[in-house]
Each structure stands twice: as structure tokens, then as C-alpha cells.
Amino acid sequence: MKTKTQHNATYSYSLIGLLIGLGLLAIIVFLGLVVLDQPISFDLFVTLFRDNPIIWVALLLPIILGFFGYYVGNEFYKKTNDLREDINNEQKKAHEIFDFVEKIRLGQTDAQYEIREGDEIGKALINLRDALKKSNDEENARKEEEKQRHWITEGIAKFGAILRENIGDLKKLSNVVTMELVKYINAHQAGFFILEEKDGKKYFNETAAYAKDATKDGFRRKYADKQIEWGEGLIGACAIEKKTNIIPRTSENYVRITSGLGGAPPRSLVIVPLKSNDEIYGVVEIASFNEYKPYEIEFIERVAESIASTISNVNINLRTAQLLTESQEQAKIMARQEEDMRRNMEELKHTQFEAAKQSEQFISFTNSVNHTMIRAEYSVDGYLLYANSKFLNKLGYTNSSEIEGKHISMFISDKDRAWFNELWQNLASGGKHFEGDMKHVTKTGTDVWTMATYVSVRDHERKPIKILFLGIDITDSKKQSLDYKGQIDALNRSTMKAEYGPDGRVLEMNHKLVEILQFTPEELTKRTIFNFLTSSDLDEFKIIWKNIINGVPFEGRHKWFTKTGEERWFQGTYTVVHDMYGEPAKIVFIGNDITEQIHMEDKSREQTEILREQEQKLQQSKVELSKKLKETREEMKLQFREVEIVKILSDKTLEGMLDAVVVINQDNKIQLFNRAAEELWGVQRDEILGKDISSLLPTDSVSENENYLGNFFKANDTTLISTRTEVFILDKFEKRTNVLVTLSEASIGERYTLTAFIQKIEVELF
């Protein structure tokens, strides 16, 4: 059925057509009367219509033009209705775009927008939303990663400074490191264990322990005197496995975190070995109510590695200093013994030379030798002829009868017999005498070291008749010297070692350092330490060198150049060694190659700089994106203004329609009910909007077979779609009214509407 607006339009055009037709009819009649030129009378009209049949045709003009006006008005309404629907769709689309853009502006990157066919602006906005979301996600991930990396870098630098400041005192170092570690990682309790060795047994000594004190809002030092055997408990297991042990839950009896309000077992227990170059120096145990993240565990492990490296350097420095001191003392003792030995040997030679002439003096001298030196005589074949009491005592025999007639091989170790047999053959054949250190085997199988002399005793024909052995016991000093030599060899294998003269000349370099510098030994003897340094470091190092010569040790890092020009960074200690007169004899350098560590630090700085540049570019992109978004928002506002104008015009057009219009959605809820519909049903729109269509068109008292609008006007019912059909309705007072109805449906995605255009039939009749 037609709306009121449509009815008004068709009525107006029909009336205009009727009036035009009547006007034309009057003009034709007037012209006809003028042509007849007679007084107006009834007979004149009869004559006019009788003689002019065309006037009868003119009588149809008002009807014809009235129907033509009706057709024009109806077509005008259809065009207006199509325009209104287009305006509504565009307005709805504009509102959706505006809401979507506003959500994006507010940072809601999860906002949804339904793209219609041909909606290029919608596609661009979806791409913009996805780009913003991806950018935000990447920015958040980058900031979190940079925050973690900054936290680790800052912590490593902080603990590096702590380790450098306390490198001379392990006890103080362990206390400071433990306290600062508990604070930095927000732990609640920690213990610091250093690996020590006593009587051949390894154990862990707890040198520091700290715990957070809830009653004082700070930290307190715990009493630390615990000792744990190697391999015992979680500490020992961590040291054996050489890897971090993370225990999410601990037993009540293992450890408790206490405060002024009570105590509870920690939520997380982290045990980290202090490991450097795959060697264990201790263990750090950390208890906390927090569960640590992987980057925090990585930080603890890196700090533990730095601590282990520091402990290793401290041990090496202490041991080196001790070895140097002991070596100097031993060198002095050896020098005195050598001097004494030389004097004794000179006296012995002089006595032997004078023995033939002065037998009494020789016997007296022999007795003196027997009291001061180890003496034995062997036959040329190597059988013992005589041994003094010192020989018996040193080799563990009580009576000479136990060894007289025995071969000398019983006093020589199996490992030394090859070279000693060659020596003996030389002596037995009258060769040159032997002077040097000699190891003998005692009765119990232990070793006795002597500063020995083997001399061939000849007859008057210069033929060897026996071999004389004289010696001085140097067992203790020899064993100590061998121990020092072994330790120095081990030091040479594990670290770089070099010796320089006071003027900087290279005296000696171990194989490890020579291999790195790539110089031959001959080339090194022509160089000084100053040739390996850069010109920028040379002046400063010369000042350091003077301090070293004056007895001030130096520990630090320097950049050297190899033979091929490659840069190498060394971290080490320079110590002066004095001669027996207290004068600087040489400078000893002991250190390690830290080139890889320096390169890692440089690479870290480069990566930080790259990240900073990327952040600047990202900020610039963000500014440009905000500018584009602002321009888009301004453009959308202009479009919204135009749409609002069109909407206002459309609303005014629909409001003026004479036909009733009712719109329902996919849930059969009434969405539109105009004034013509209010007049048709006698119901106010406020009473019916939002309710089910059945409240307006009840079907309980109407048969399904009747031509009732309520049987067809429902969502997805296509019976009357796009057709003009006569049906009836029941108004508010259940009065039956016949109407013409046209149904039109529309859907976009899940949204659906069904519109009824309704017109009373009697309104259409003349």
C-alpha cells in the first residue's frame, strides 16, 4: 500500500494533469464558440458539440492527463525511494568507517570492520590497522628485549667494577658480591661457597651468606662457617655436573627464608657453579620466593663466570707471587750450597792431588770427608767396596755388611739405569769424571738426591782400579725445586708468561705467548715490550713500567700487535724480580688473552648503536603515520558532514511520504514505523518500535490461508517480495482494512531488513 508521502505526490500530479485537461477543454470550447460567433445559449453548445466531434475527444483530456499525472507522481516516488535507500546505505557505511577510525585512533588495534565489495577505503583502513598492530607488537617486543639486555649489561658492568675493586681480598669480595647479587636480582637469600683443598681433600667453604631482613626493610649478614665436602648435597652435585641447577620447590628441611613474621621454604632455588675454562672455583646458591626468568638465569651465570675468572686470577697471582718468593729464596740457598760445594770440591781436588805425597794428611782429610760427605768406593765392575756411615744412614742401612759386594745398580732407579750405565762405562774406561745431581734409591724404595762426584781412581800406570763417589744430600731442596719446576710448567701451559729485562728487552716468552704473537725466538730477542704496544698507549705504559721497576706491581689490560699486525688484548700482572743484591733483575708478566671478550664488548656496543638508530627511524615513521592518520580523520569528517546533510534531506523526504512504511530486521523486530503507519494502525511508534512484528500483526485469530499481511510479513519470507499485492490488516481496534502492499528485502553480511510499503485501496479510487 502507498505511504502518505507517495499518496500526496501521485494526488498532486493527478490533480495537475486533471486541471490542465480541463483548461485545454475550456480553451477548445471557447475557440469553438468564437468561431461560431453567436450569442451563448444552450442551443449554441448543442450545435458546437454536434458539428465538432473533436470536442467529444477533448472531453477525455482531463481524464487522460489526470492518469498521466498519476503515473508521473508514482515514478517520482520510486526514484525518491531509491535515492533514500542509497543515502541510508552510504550514511551507515560512513558511520561504520568513522567508528572504526576512532577505535584505531584510541589504540584499539583489535577493532573489527566488515569490508563490502568495492570498499577501497575499508581495505586501506584494515591494512592501516594491521600495520599499526604489527608495529605496536614489534615495538613492545623490542622494548622488552632492550630492557632485559640493558639490565644484564648494567649488571655485568656493576659486578665487574665490584670484582676489580675487591680483587685483593677474597673474603671481602665474596661478602660484597653476595650482598649486591641478592639486591640486584631481588632475591631473598644467598650463600657464597669457595672451593678449597686441604690434605688432598676438596671441600666448599661458605665465605659469605646474606638474607633479606623483612623486619628492618633491608639486608642482614648471616653467620657463614659452613663446610661442604666435594660431591655432597646439591652444592657438590652442581660442582660435579658443572651446570646450573634450578629447583622450583625445596623441602622444608633444606632451607627456609625467614623474617620477623616467620619463615617459609623458597619458591625457587638456583645453584650456579663458579666455572672458568671448565674448572670449578666455587658455587653460588640463591633462594627466592620469585621464579626467575631465562634472561635472569643467564645474567647470574655470566656474573658467576666473571667471579670464577676473578678467583682464578687471584689464585694465580697469589700462587705466582708465592712461587717467585720461594724460588728467590731457593735460588739463594742453592747459590750458597753451590758455593759451599765448589769450595769443598776444590778442597777435595787439592787433597787428592796431594794424597800421594802426604798420606797422613790424606787420611785426616778422608776422615773429615766421612764426617761431612757421603762417600763410597766401587770396583770398576760396579761392586761396592766401601761405604761410610753417612752413605749407610742416607740409604737406610744399619750395617755395611748389608750392601758390601752388592752391585751399584741396586741404588739406581730403573728409569735412570740406561743413562747411568753409559756414565759408568765412561768412568770405568778412565774417562772424565762426573759432577751433577744424582738420585739414589734407599732400602725402603724412597729417593735420595745428592750433589755427586764420580771420579776414576788410577794406579801408577794410569789404569782405573776403582770408582770413588762423593756427595752431599740435597733431597729436600731438589724435591722443592722439582715441585717449583712442575708448577711453573703448569703455569706456562695454562697462561701466557714472559720475562723482560729492566730496559724492556724480551728475555723469554713461553710457547703460548709466542704462538699468539707469531714471532720466532730470534726475532723476539731483538724486540722490547714497547714494540708490541700502540703509540697512543706507549707514553702511559712507560710511566707504569718505571713504577713496576720500583717495586709497584701492575695488573691491567693492554692492546698488543702481532707480527701480522693483528690486534690482541692481554689482561695480566707485571711483577719485578730482584737479584741477590736487591737490584731489579727482570720483569715477569703473567696474563691471559681477552681479545674475544673485547670483541664481544665492541659488538655489543655496535648492536646497541644499531638499535638506537632503528628506534629513531621507528619514531620518525610513527610521526609520519600519525600525520597521515590525522589527514585521513579530517577527510572522513568532511565525508561525514556530507553524509549527515544527505541523511537530513532523506529523513525529511521519508517523513513527508503518505504511504505507510514498516521495516523489520532479521529477528522480526520493528525498526521503522512512520507517521502514515501510525494513522493506518492507530498505534504510536514509541509503543511499537523494537517489538516483534507479531505485536503489530497478530496471527492467532487469522487462518494461514487468508490473504493477511501477518502471514507474509516476516524475515526471509519471499512470497510477496517485489510484487504489489492486495491484502488486509487489522488495526488497533481489530478493524479489517484492505491495502496494497509491496515487500522489499535487503541484506549486507549478517544484517537483514524487510520493508513493507502499504497503501489503502480506497485512497487510490476516484
pLDDT of 220 above 60 = no
- Look at residue 619 and give its three-state secondary structure: helix
What is residue 227's predicted lDDT score, i.e. its pLDDT? 80
Rounded mean pLDDT, 437-446: 85
pLDDT of 763 above 60 = no
Alpha helices (H) in 445-561, listed in sequence order: 475-494, 511-517, 521-525, 535-549
pLDDT of 734 above 70 = yes
Identify whether the C-beta of residue 192 lies closer than 8 Å to the C-beta of residue 207. yes
The residues, any chain, with a CB within 8 Å of residue 267's CB and separated by 6 or more, are: 248, 249, 288, 289, 290, 291
pLDDT of 418 above 60 = yes
- Look at residue 651 and give its three-state secondary structure: helix
pLDDT of 215 above 70 = no
What is residue 692's predicted lDDT score, i.e. its pLDDT? 92
pLDDT digits (tens, 9 = 90+) for 596-618: 777 787 787 787 788 788 778 87
Identify whether the C-beta of residue 601 lies closer than 8 Å to the C-beta of residue 557. no
Q: Which range is least confidently modeled, 251-265, 674-688, 697-711? A: 251-265
Q: What is the pTM (predicted TM-score) of this model? A: 0.33
648 or 635, greater pLDDT: 635
Paired sense of beta strands 434-441 and 268-276, if any:
unpaired
What is residue 217's predicted lDDT score, i.e. its pLDDT? 41
Across 405-423, b (16+ Cβ under 10 Å) vs e yields: eeebeebbeeeeeeebeee
pLDDT digits (tens, 9 = 90+) for 502-561: 888 888 887 777 777 778 877 877 788 888 787 777 888 888 888 888 888 888 877 778
Confidence of residue 344 (pLDDT cuts 50, 70, 90): confident
Above pLDDT 70, what percent of the chain?
80
Judging by beta carbons within 10 Å of its beta carbon (0-12, 13-18, 19+), is residue 88 exposed, middle or buried?
A: middle
Name the average pLDDT for the chain. 77
Q: Which range is least confidently modeled, 246-255, 442-451, 639-648? A: 246-255
Q: Which range is least confidently modeled, 2-6, 210-214, 660-664, 705-709? A: 2-6
pLDDT digits (tens, 9 = 90+) for 356-391: 555 555 555 566 566 668 888 899 888 988 888 888
What is residue 669's predicted lDDT score, i.e. its pLDDT? 92
Paired sense of beta strands 724-730 and 670-673, if any:
unpaired
pLDDT digits (tens, 9 = 90+) for 255-271: 554 433 344 566 678 88
What is residue 451's predicted lDDT score, i.e. its pLDDT? 85
Residue of 489, 494, 117, 90 whose CA lies nearest to 278: 494
Residue of 162, 176, 496, 192 whose CA lies nearest to 310: 162
Confidence of residue 67 (pLDDT cuts 50, 70, 90): confident
Measuring CA to CA, how many Å separate 300 from each of 190, 195, 313, 594?
12, 19, 20, 21
What is residue 412's predicted lDDT score, i.e. its pLDDT? 87
Identify whether the C-beta of residue 185 lies closer than 8 Å to the C-beta of residue 299. yes
Question: What's the grid cell of residue 513?
Answer: 705467548
Confidence of residue 671 (pLDDT cuts 50, 70, 90): confident
The Cα 397–Cα 448 span in angstroms is: 13
**Residue 352, number of CB atoms within 10 A of its CB:** 14
Rounded mean pLDDT, 308-336: 77
What is residue 450's predicted lDDT score, i.e. its pLDDT? 87
Q: Which range is least confidently modeled, 24-33, 76-85, 187-196, 730-739? A: 24-33
Question: What's the grid cell of residue 205?
Answer: 667453604
Q: Which is it for the CA torsion 264, 265, 267, 272, positive or negative?
A: positive
685 or 621, greater pLDDT: 685
